Structure 1
Amino acid sequence: MRPSLLDPLFAEASALPGVGPKTGKLFDRLLGESGQPARVVDVLLHLPVSAIDRRNRPKIAQAPIGAVSTLQVRVTEHRPPRGKGPYRVLTEDETGDLTLVFFRANSGWIEKLLPIGETRWVSGLVEIFDFYRQMVHPDRVVDEAGLKALPPVEPVYGLTEGLFQRVAAKAAAAALDRLPVLPEWLEDQTLRLGGWDTFAASLAKIHHPQQPQDLAPEGQFWARLAYDEFLSHQLALRLVRAKMQTLGGRAQKGDGVLAAKILSALPFVLTGDQKGALAEISADLASDRRMLRLLQGDVGSGKTIVALLAMAQVVESGRQAALMAPTEILARQHFATIKPLADSAGLIIALITGRDRATERRATLEGLASGAIQIAIGTHALVQDDVAFAGLGLAVIDEQHRFGVQQRVTLADKGAAVDVLAMTATPIPRTLALAFFGDMEVSSLREKPPGRQSIDTRAINVERIDEVISGLSRAIQAGARVYWVCPLVEGSEDSDLAAAQDRANDLRQFFGDKVGLVHGQMKGRDKDAAMAAFAEGETKILVATTVIEVGVNVPEATVMVIEHAERFGLSQLHQLRGRVGRGSAKSSCILLYCAPLGETAKARLEILRETEDGFRIAEEDLRLRGEGEVLGARQSGAPGFKIARLDLHAALLRMARDDAERALEQDPELTGERGKNLRLLLYLFERDSALRLLRAG
C-alpha cells in the first residue's frame, strides 16, 4: 500500500486549483498514460525545458535586438488596423520609441490593457522592422503592481495544443503546494558531495528559478532530482535481484553429452568470447543460486549458439528450456537456426506463436506439459495461461529491452527455480547496462565468428538514386540479393519520407517480380511468405521497413540500401547493416541521405562509415542522441526516466548504484529509519511495481 503521506500527489491533476476538468483533459493528453489521467505528481515532475530571463530591464534605446527585454514605456498613440493589418500601439521613454504589434487582437481589450498616457511594463522580444524597434505580441503587459508579481526568470514548459505556459506554470505552483513535508532519504555525505538541497527545495528552485542556471539539467537542483530517480530505479532492480537469489535456484550441471554433439555439428569453432560467456553461464546454471544474466553481443557475434548450448545443459540435467523472442519473424528465424543443430543432438524442439493451428497448438501444449518437448521457441505466446511445462529450468529472453519485467517474471514463473538468460543484439554502453539491466550479471561477445565479412559502407545523396539502381542491376546479375529499407510503410501528402510500398512499386518497373515487400502491417503468413521467397532466391530485392532490423538471417544477401538514412538512429543503422555480410561473399551498405544534413546526422553517417564495432557505435549513439534512441527507451520495460538523462548524469547513476547496494546491505528489508524513507522514494517514483512482483514471486 502506498503511504497515505503521498496521497495528495496521486490525486488527478484536474483537482488542482485553476485546472479543472476542461484543462485537466489537456494535462491528461500531455502527461497521462493509457487508462490513467495525469496526476499531481506528473505535473510536479514535468520540469521546464528552458527559461525566459526577464531580468534585463534597459531603456528602449539600449534594448538588445533579438533578445527578450522588460521595458518601462509610456503609451502615446493607438493605431487600429486598416483592413487585415495588425493593431499598433506606439510607446516611448526618454531614449526612444517602441511599437507594440498585435495581430487579430480585440481592439477593446488592447485599449483597456494599454490606456493612452499611462505607464506600463512590457516584456518580450525586441526586433527591428522598417528601421523601427518593435515588439510583436508582448509576453507580458503589466503595471507596477503586476511587475512585482512577474517572475524574474520564467520557466518554459513542454505543452500540448490548447495548453498555455501560464496555465502550466500555475499548475506546477499548485502541485508544489500539494507536496507534503518529506523525510530525507539521502545520506548526509551524499548531500554534501553534491552540494544538494532537499528534494522539495530542488523542485521549487526549478519551477520558480531565480536565474536561468537554476533549471539547467546539468545544474545542482536538477542533478539532485536525477539522483533520486536513479536511486529509486537501482533500489528496485536490486530488490528484484535479491528476491531472485533468496528464492534459491536448482543446480543444473548436465553431463556435456548433448552440448558435445551440437559442437561437433557446427561448421566452425567457438570464439574466445563465446567460450568465456558459455563458461560463465554454465557455472551459473550449475550453482544453487538462480541465474539472472544478460548476454550482449554485436550483430552476428553468435549469441544464439551460446543460448542453445546453455539450453542443452539444462536438458542434460533433466529439465526443459524456452526461448522467447519479441516478433514472430525473429522467433521463426531462431527456430530455423536451432532446429538442424538440435536434430543432430537428438533434442526435441517446438515453435509456438500466436497463430498456430489449433491441432498443432494442442499437440505442442501436450508435449510441453508431458516433457516430451525439451525446448520451446516462441513469441510472448509462451507466457499465455494455457502454456504449461513439465519442468522448465531455463528461460531465454531475446531482445530483452522489448519486453517488460512482468513478461520476464511470468515466463520464469512457468517453472520452479527457473534460471533466466536475457540476450540483446544491441551492444549496450556500461551506463545503459546499469540503467536497463542493473539487476543482471553481464557477459559480452565482442569477437566476430570466423568467416564474417567486413562491410563496405558508403553514404550517397538520394539525388544519385538512378546510379544506385543501375549498380543493383549489375549486382543482381552477378547473383546478389538486396535489402532496401524505407522508414514508412506507405506515402502521405505531409511526409517526404520514402514509403516501402511506393518504393517497391518503383523498383518493380526495373526488376519486375524479382522485388518482394515486407512490413509490420502485413499479416504474419504474408510476411513469412515474403521472407521465404527472398531467402530461397525467388525474389532478389526485398523492400522492407525496420521489421527486418533484428534476427533476419539470409547469408546470400550482400547489399543493404537504407533510404533516408539520416532519419534513423545510429544503433538502428548498425543493426540494419548487420543483415548483410553474413556469408562468404563481399558485402556493401549504401546509406541514401537527403541533403542538407544536420551536424548530428552527418556525425552518425561518418561514424558508421568509420567502424563496424557495435560497442563503439552504441557509445556514440548514446552521446549523440541519448538513451531513448539506443534501446528504444519508450518501449515496454525500459526505465523511461522522467528527469534523469543518461547522457548528462551517467556519473550519478554509478553513485546511485553503489548507494542502493550499500543501503540494502545495511538494511535488506528497508525497515530501518533510512529504509522507511527509501520506501517513500520508491513509491514517489512508482518503482513499487517491482516490489509487488518480487512479493508475488
Structure 2
Amino acid sequence: MRPQSLFPLFCPVDSLPGIGPRLAKLFEKLTGPHVADLLWHLPSGLVDRSFRPTVAEAPSGRIATLVVTVESHEPSTAPRRPYRIRCRDHTGFLTLVFFHARQDWLERAFPVGEVRVVSGTVEHFNGEAQMTHPDRHGTLEELEGIEGIEAVYPLTAGLTPKVVARAVSRALERAPDLPEWIEPSVFRQRRWPSWKEALTIVHSPESEADLHLDRPARQRLAYDEMLANQLALSLVRASMRKLKGRSVAGDGSLRARIMPSLPFALTGAQERSLKEITADMAEPARMLRLLQGDVGSGKTIVALLAMLNAVETGAQAAIMAPTEILARQHFASIEPLLASIGIRAGLLTGRDKGKSRKAVLEDLAAGEIKIIVGTHALFQEDVVFQDLALAVIDEQHRFGVHQRLELAAKGRAVDVLVMTATPIPRTLTLTAYGDMDVSRLDEKPPGRQPVDTRVLPLARMEDVVMGVERAMRGGAKVYWICPLVAESETSDLAAAEERHLHLSQIFGERVGLVHGKMKAAQKDAVMEGFAEGNIDLLVSTTVVEVGVNVPEATVMVIEHAERFGLAQLHQLRGRVGRGSGASTCLLLYGSPLSETARARLEIMRQTEDGFRIAEEDLRLRGAGELLGTRQSGLPEFRVADLTAHADLLPVARDDARLILETDPELQSKRGEALRTLLYLFERDAQVRTLRSG
C-alpha cells in the first residue's frame, strides 16, 4: 500500500483547482497523470519582472513592470485590427494591444479611470510606448506578486506559462514533509536541504545560477531519484537471488566437438565472458547476466556455447530475438553447427502456422528439440518445454522486464542471459542493468577489417553514386540508409521511397527497398534477396540497424548522417565489415552543420570502438536522447541528469547495497522512509517484491 502521506500527490492532476478535463489531458501529455508529476516538471529558465521604470524610462525590447492609469478603450473596428487600451502615468502614454480578445473581458480587467499593474515586453511605435498582450496584469494590491522573479516552465500546445506555473505552485502546496531517507553522513557532508525544502528552492529560482544542475537543491533531488533507481534494481536482484535456482554444469563434451567447426578461435574477451557465464550457471542461484558486445564481437557464439552447456546436462535452451529477420538469421548460423554434432535446433516465429508449427511444438515438449530460436512467439501459452534451463534474450532493450520473466517462467529455475549489441556507457549500464551481472566483449574476432569511414557533403551525391557503381561492378553489395519513409511537409530529409526511385533509374532491378511500414513477410523477402539473391543495393530506413548479417555488403552510405545519434551511426556502420573484404562507410551531411553534429561525425571518423563512442554520445547528447530512452528500455530520469550527476550514481549504488545488507526487508525507521521514496518515484513493483519474496 502506498503510504498515506503520499495520497495527495497521487491524486489525478484534475483534482487541483482550475484544472478541468480539457486541461487535464494537456497536463497528462506534458507532465503525467498525477499531481506528483508536476513536482518533477522543473523550470527551464526565468523571467525577471523586478525592473519598474516609468513609462518614459521604459526601453524597447526589455521586460518591464509598469503602474498606469487606464484612460480609454479603443475597440477593434475591423476583424484584423487589434483592440487598444490607452493608459498613462505622470511621464507619458502606454498603449496595450490585444488581438482576438473579448471586449467584455478587457473592460472588466481594465476599468477606465482605475490604476493597473502591467508586465511584459515594451516596444515603441511612432514614438510612443506600447505593450502587446501583457504577460501579467493586476491591481496595485497585486503588485508584489507580479514584480518578482518568475520561473519559466517547458510547455505544450494549449497550455500557457501562467496556467502551468499556477498548477506547479498548487502541487507544491500539497507536498508533505517526509521523513529523511538519505544516509545521515552523506546528508551532512553534502549540506543538502530537506526534500520539501529542495523542491521549493528549485521551483523558485532567484537568478540564472539557481537553474544550474550543480546547485545543492537540484543535486539532492537528483540523488533521491538515483537512490530510488538503484534501490529498486537491488531489490529485483535480491528477489532473483532468493528464488530457488539449480546448478547447470555440463561436462564440456558437446562444446569440445563443436569448437573445430567455429569460423575463428575464440577471442580473449569471449573466453572470459564464457567462463563468467558457465560459473554463474553452475551456482545454485539463478543467473541474470548481461552480455554486452560491440557490433561483430561474436556474442552469438558465446550464447551458443552457453546453450550447449545446458544441453550437456540433458536440459533445453532458448534464444529469443526481437524480429523475425534476426531470429531466422540466428537459426541459419547456428543450425548447421548443431546438426554437425547431432543436436536438433528448432525455429518458431509468428509466421510459422499450421502443421509445421504443431510439429515444432510437439518435438519441443518431447525434448527432441534441444535449442529453439524464436521471436515473441515463444511467449505463447501453447509453447511448452520438456526442461528449459537457459533463456537467452537478444537485443534486450527491445523487450521489457516482464517479457524476460515470462520466458523464464517456461521452465524450472531458468538461468537468463541477456545480450545487447548496443554499447552502453558504464553509468547507463548501472541505471538500466544494475540488477544484472555484466560481461563485456570488447575485442573483435581475428580477420575483421577496419571500416574506412569518410565524411562528405550531400553536394557530392553524384560522386557517391559513381563510387557505388564501381563497387557494385566489383561484386560488392551496398546499403543506402535514409532517415525517413516518405517526404513529409515538415521535413527536408531525403525520403527512402524517393531515393529508391532515383537509384532504380540508374541500376534497375538490382535496387531493393526496406522500411518500417512494410509487412514482415515483405521485408524478409527483400532482405533475403539482398543477402542471397539479385538485389545488390538496398535502400533502407534504420530497420537494418540491428543484427542483420550480410558478409558481402562492403559499402554503407548514410544520408543526412548529421541527423542520427552516434550510437545509431555506429550500429549502422556495423552492418558492413563483417566479411574478409575491405569496407567503406560514407557519411553524407547537409550544411550547415551544428557544432555537436560536427563533433559526432568526427568521432565516427576517428574510432570504431563502440564503448568509446557510447561515452562520447552520452557526453554530447545527455542520457535522455541516448538510444531514445522510450524505445530502449533505459530508465527515464525526471530530475537527475546522468552527465551532470554521474558522480552521485556510485554513491547511490553503494548506499543501496549497504541498506539491503543491513535491512533487507526495509523494516527499520530509515527503511520505512526508503519505502516512501520508492513509492514517490513510482517503483511500487519493487516494493511488492519485498512481500512476495
Q: Compute the TM-score of the two structures, normalised by the length of structure 1.
A: 0.94
Q: Contact 1:350 / 1:375 at 8 angstroms: preserved in 2?
A: yes
1:133: Cα distance to partner? Answer: 5.4
> 1:46-445 alignment to 2 at 5 Å?
46-59=41-54, 66-73=61-68, 83=78, 84-89=80-85, 100-106=96-102, 109-110=105-106, 113-114=109-110, 119-127=115-123, 134-150=130-146, 152-445=148-441
Greater shift in the superposed pair: 66-75 or 381-390: 66-75
> 1:482-497 alignment to 2 at 5 Å?
482-497=478-493
Instruction: Quote the Cα distance in structure 1 between the aligned partners of 2:458 and 2:295.
Output: 27
1:7: Cα distance to partner? Answer: 2.3
Query: Structure 1 residues 475, 129: CA separation in 2 closer, same or farther (over 3 Å shift)?
Result: farther
> 1:538-617 alignment to 2 at 5 Å?
538-617=534-613
1:9: Cα distance to partner? Answer: 2.1
Greater shift in the superposed pair: 82-91 or 330-339: 82-91
Query: Structure 1 residues 97, 619: CA separation in 2 closer, same or farther (over 3 Å shift)?
Result: farther
Cα deviations by residue, 1:322-374 (Å, 9 ceiling, x for unpaired): 11112222222221222222222322111111221122222222222221111
Q: Contact 2:675 / 2:687 at 8 angstroms: preserved in 1?
A: no
Instruction: Quote the Cα distance in structure 2 between the aligned partners of 1:63 and 1:231.
Output: 49
Cα deviations by residue, 1:374-399 (Å, 9 ceiling, x for unpaired): 11111122222222221111111111
Work out which of the residue numbers 23, 34, 58 in structure 2 matches 1:39.
Answer: 34
Greater shift in the superposed pair: 425-434 or 152-161: 152-161
Amino acid at match of 1:344: S
Instruction: Quote the Cα distance in structure 2 between the aligned partners of 1:628 and 1:51.
Output: 23
Q: Describe the SS at the equivalent of 1:472.
A: helix
1:93: Cα distance to partner? Answer: 5.7
Query: Structure 1 residues 195, 547: CA separation in 2 closer, same or farther (over 3 Å shift)?
Result: same
1:57: Cα distance to partner? Answer: 3.4
Instruction: Quote the Cα distance in structure 1 between the aligned partners of 2:92 and 2:609.
Output: 62
1:72: Cα distance to partner? Answer: 3.8
Q: Describe the SS at the equivalent of 1:458.
A: strand
> 1:649-668 alignment to 2 at 5 Å?
649-668=645-664
Which residue is equivalent to 1:29? 29
Instruction: Quote the Cα distance in structure 2 between the aligned partners of 1:218 and 1:558.
Output: 46
Q: Contact 2:155 / 2:161 at 8 angstroms: preserved in 1?
A: yes
Instruction: Quote the Cα distance in structure 2 between the aligned partners of 1:322 and 1:333.
Output: 15
Work out which of the residue numbers 669, 684, 689 in structure 2 matches 1:688.
Answer: 684
Cα deviations by residue, 1:93-112 (Å, 9 ceiling, x for unpaired): 67776554433334554455
Q: RMSD across aligned C-alpha pairs, in angstroms?
A: 2.4
Q: Describe the SS at the equivalent of 1:650.
A: coil
Query: Structure 1 residues 262, 132: CA separation in 2 closer, same or farther (over 3 Å shift)?
Result: farther
Cα deviations by residue, 1:7-61 (Å, 9 ceiling, x for unpaired): 22222111211112232222233344xxxxx122222332233222223334556
Q: Contact 2:258 / 2:338 at 8 angstroms: preserved in 1?
A: yes
Q: Describe the SS at the equivalent of 1:629.
A: coil
1:551: Cα distance to partner? Answer: 0.2
1:415: Cα distance to partner? Answer: 1.6
1:594: Cα distance to partner? Answer: 1.7
Query: Structure 1 residues 530, 683: CA separation in 2 closer, same or farther (over 3 Å shift)?
Result: same
Amino acid at match of 1:557: A
1:92: Cα distance to partner? Answer: 5.8
Instruction: Quote the Cα distance in structure 2 between the aligned partners of 1:93 and 1:608.
Output: 62
Residue 464 (structure 2) pairs with residue 463 (structure 1): no
Amino acid at match of 2:12: E
Cα deviations by residue, 1:237-266 (Å, 9 ceiling, x for unpaired): 111111111224222221111112222111
Query: Structure 1 residues 604, 96: CA separation in 2 closer, same or farther (over 3 Å shift)?
Result: farther
Instruction: Quote the Cα distance in structure 2 between the aligned partners of 1:103 and 1:348.
Output: 75
Q: Describe the SS at the equivalent of 2:435.
A: coil
Q: Describe the SS at the equivalent of 1:22.
A: helix
Instruction: Quote the Cα distance in structure 1 between the aligned partners of 2:601 and 2:87.
Output: 52
Q: Describe the SS at the equivalent of 2:490.
A: coil
1:510: Cα distance to partner? Answer: 0.8
Which residue is equivalent to 1:35? none
Which residue is equivalent to 2:504? 508
Q: Contact 2:551 / 2:577 at 8 angstroms: preserved in 1?
A: yes
The answer for unaligned runs of 5 or more in structure 1 is: 33-37
1:214: Cα distance to partner? Answer: 3.9
Cα deviations by residue, 1:53-110 (Å, 9 ceiling, x for unpaired): 2233345566565443333445567666675344455656677765544333345544
Cα deviations by residue, 1:175-199 (Å, 9 ceiling, x for unpaired): 2233333211112222223322222
Query: Structure 1 residues 632, 494: CA separation in 2 closer, same or farther (over 3 Å shift)?
Result: closer
Instruction: Quote the Cα distance in structure 2 between the aligned partners of 1:591 and 1:128.
Output: 49
Query: Structure 1 residues 185, 105: CA separation in 2 closer, same or farther (over 3 Å shift)?
Result: same
Residue 591 (structure 2) pairs with residue 620 (structure 1): no
Amino acid at match of 2:418: A
Which residue is equivalent to 2:15? 15
Amino acid at match of 1:284: D
Query: Structure 1 residues 382, 221: CA separation in 2 closer, same or farther (over 3 Å shift)?
Result: same
Which residue is equivalent to 2:5? 5
Instruction: Quote the Cα distance in structure 1 between the aligned partners of 2:113 and 2:663.
Output: 70
The answer for unaligned runs of 5 or more in structure 2 is: none
Query: Structure 1 residues 558, 693: CA separation in 2 closer, same or farther (over 3 Å shift)?
Result: farther
Q: Contact 2:137 / 2:146 at 8 angstroms: preserved in 1?
A: no
Q: Contact 2:565 / 2:627 at 8 angstroms: preserved in 1?
A: no
Which residue is equivalent to 2:627? 631
Q: Contact 2:247 / 2:282 at 8 angstroms: preserved in 1?
A: yes
Cα deviations by residue, 1:561-600 (Å, 9 ceiling, x for unpaired): 1112121111001100110111111111111222112222
Amino acid at match of 1:606: E
Greater shift in the superposed pair: 132-141 or 488-497: 132-141
Q: Contact 1:99 / 1:135 at 8 angstroms: preserved in 2?
A: yes
Task: Report % sequence identity.
Answer: 59
Cα deviations by residue, 1:495-544 (Å, 9 ceiling, x for unpaired): 22222222212211111100111122222211111011001141011111
Which residue is equivalent to 1:534? 530
Q: Contact 1:401 / 1:631 at 8 angstroms: preserved in 2?
A: no
Q: Contact 1:80 / 1:107 at 8 angstroms: preserved in 2?
A: yes
Amino acid at match of 1:14: D
Q: Compute the TM-score of the two structures, normalised by the length of structure 2.
A: 0.94
Query: Structure 1 residues 63, 250: CA separation in 2 closer, same or farther (over 3 Å shift)?
Result: farther
Q: Contact 1:214 / 1:221 at 8 angstroms: preserved in 2?
A: no
Q: Contact 1:452 / 1:584 at 8 angstroms: preserved in 2?
A: yes
